[in-house]
A and B are shown apart, each in its own frame.
Chain A
Amino acid sequence: MPGITRRRALSAAAAVATTASAVGRHAPAAPGSFDEVYRGRRIQGGPASGGGHHHQHGGDYAVFVDGVPLHVMRNADGSWISVVSHYAPVATPRAAARAAVAELQGAPLLPFDAN
């Protein structure tokens, strides 16, 4: 997410989410936000504008592990996956973030564009 800090991204995401709910969206409701420390690492998630300009699918929900964006995707049945657990759907984006923390075993996540 070049040129924009995580904090600003989350603020912008929150603003978008507020606007969206105010006008009422017909798309399936995005899950709510979360912010917690899981196994010693901060995981955060919330609705986002998808304005990261990365080459992957710009979803409408953003997840971060220690401030680094984790690429997540929603399946048609409402389940979620992330790039570090891409073949094992879980129920919520928070569960995907927790699965990522478990998979990472303490390793830092790399931003999407690192490759």
Chain B
Amino acid sequence: MTVRKNQATLTADEKRRFVAAVLELKRTGRYDDFVRTHNAFIMADTDSGERTGHRSPSFLPWHRRFLLDFEQALQSVDSSVALPYWDWSADRTVRASLWAPDFLGGTGRAGDGRVMDGPFAASTGDWPVNVRVDGRTFLRRSLGTGVRELPTPAEVESVLSIATYDTAPYNSASDGFRNHLEGWRGVNLHNRVHVWVGGQMATGVSPNDPVFWLHHAYVDKLWSQWQRRHPGAAYVPTGGTPDVVDLNDTMKPWNTVRPADLLDHTGFYTFDA
């Protein structure tokens, strides 16, 4: 059974294996398919039209399935690898071990934002940014400049305390847990972390930065924590909602999986705590 661990607790060997598996997916071209899929959904999901991956109730189950696909791809390279998660409310500075050269590398240099160290620096030749929205082919970051502060534990707590999963109109204007976790309303958790990292992470092609997976693995963990906190609350809407994935509707791009199939993560993986 896959156990997803806090990135701060990984051993040197676990970091090395995770990085090597990611680089192998990149080398074979499989990695870029994930970036392409994410960008297609983020550009197509709209508040007034069909919305599946973002700004909608299915933001959470869609990313849960997307991360499962990626994790299974990693495990096809090295069966010992699981997705780690980044608790950005705890490891909230550029000095976190997450950003060390033996893991994801650090922030970008002044001027062009180019990441200069770590296994994903352009100078390694191992990490070309192929699926992109502009001419730059190197991984970029600007940690803590697009917004100064990552969310605090108190802000996370305030969102976990929201008892309703989602509310009409089921988009970026909604009240409820999902939209506050996604960040279009309120203290802003998920969206703010993308902005804090900067570089490709702030764009539609955000999976170009491997931290995308660690960020979303923590967002996914927060969904799980919310479920335990509110055992009586559940995914909504449950039927007949235009442009929105109801509980028992299938989700694109898979078309074989429903939010109902993804509410319980324990059939796929558990967390370290």
Contacts and interface: CB of A to CB of B under 8 A. Distances in A.
Contacts, number: 89
Interface stretch (A3-11, A17-25, A29-37, A99-107): A99-107
Contacts of B45: 57
A16 interface: no
B43 A110 contact: no
Given A75-B172, A83-B204, A110 B132 contact: yes
Interface stretch (B34-42, B119-127, B155-163): B34-42
B40 A55 contact: yes
A103 B112 CA distance: 10
Contacts of B146: 88
Contact of B135 (A59, A85, A110, A112): A110
Contacts of A86: 42, 194, 202-204, 206
Nearest to B35: A115
Interface string A36-55: 00000000000000000001
A87 B111 CA distance: 22
B250 to A, nearest CB: 20
Contacts of A75: 47, 55, 172-173, 184
B202 A110 contact: no
Given A76-B171, A83-B133, A84-B203, A56 B43 contact: yes
A83 B47 contact: no
B132 A115 contact: yes
Contacts of B203: 83-86, 103
B48 interface: yes
A73 interface: yes
A109 interface: yes
6 A-B pairs closest in CB distance: A56-B43, A76-B173, A87-B194, A87-B191, A76-B47, A83-B204
22 contacts: A55-B40, A57-B45, A71-B43, A74-B47, A75-B173, A75-B184, A83-B43, A83-B204, A83-B205, A84-B133, A84-B202, A84-B203, A84-B204, A86-B206, A87-B190, A104-B134, A105-B111, A105-B112, A105-B113, A107-B135, A110-B132, A112-B43
Given A86-B194, A104-B134, A115-B131, 6 more contacts: A56-B43, A56-B44, A83-B203, A86-B203, A87-B183, A112-B43
